[in-house]
Amino acid sequence: MSIGERIKQRRKEKKISVDYIAKQLGVSCSTVYRYEDSSIEKIPINVFDKLCEILEVTPAELMGNGVTSKKSVETDTLPDEFIDPQKAMEFILKTPTLAAYGGYDPSSMTDEMIVEFANELLRQFKYVSLSIKERYNFRNEDEGNNKIS
């Protein structure tokens, strides 16, 4: 299910009109309809956040990443590299702290910039993960326990 389909589904579940959402977001009704039919794929962060508030969902839920069990999180793997700008944008938006901390606006980024940014995030996540694992293994070896749980 696409983000647009989830927006429409949630709006109908909450019995909220397109007109109401449009007024709250400060956009036209046709823009909301285009969000719902996914003809607008890059929803500005500030609009996306406000839309989540209106629909009473988290950004992750609206993107299709609801609450997951620990097991499913462990089996979900990140790609080695992003090629598709849409998947790259979804990855970036799954981590809303990045936008808040970095002060960037993905809606103003080109597809090429989005893919490059997401790939750089992947590299950084891998680096941090390896760094923590190395420290954890080193500490456990000193304690006579070299297992990673």
CATH at residue 47:
1.10.260.40
Could you give the number of structural domains in the chain?
2
57 and 82 in a common domain: no
Clarify whether residues 15 and 38 are in a common domain: yes
- Kindly state whether residues 89 and 56 are assigned to the same domain: no
Within a domain: residue 124?
yes
How far the first Cα of the chain sits from its last, in Å, is 34
Note down pLDDT in tens along the chain; length 149 residues: 888 899 999 999 999 999 999 999 999 999 999 999 988 878 888 888 899 999 988 887 888 776 443 334 333 567 888 888 878 877 777 766 665 556 666 667 788 888 888 888 888 888 888 888 877 775 555 555 544 44
**Could you tell me if 97 and 130 lie in one domain?**
yes
State whether 91 and 132 are in the same domain: yes
**Are both 88 and 118 inside the same structural domain?**
yes
88 neighbors 118 (Cβ within 8 angstroms): yes
Q: Are residues 81 and 128 in the same domain?
A: yes
Q: Does residue 69 lie in a domain region?
A: no
3-state secondary structure (DSSP) of residue 124: helix
Domain that holds residue 31: 3-62
Residue 96 burial class via C-beta count within 10 angstroms: exposed 0-12, middle 13-18, buried 19 and up: middle
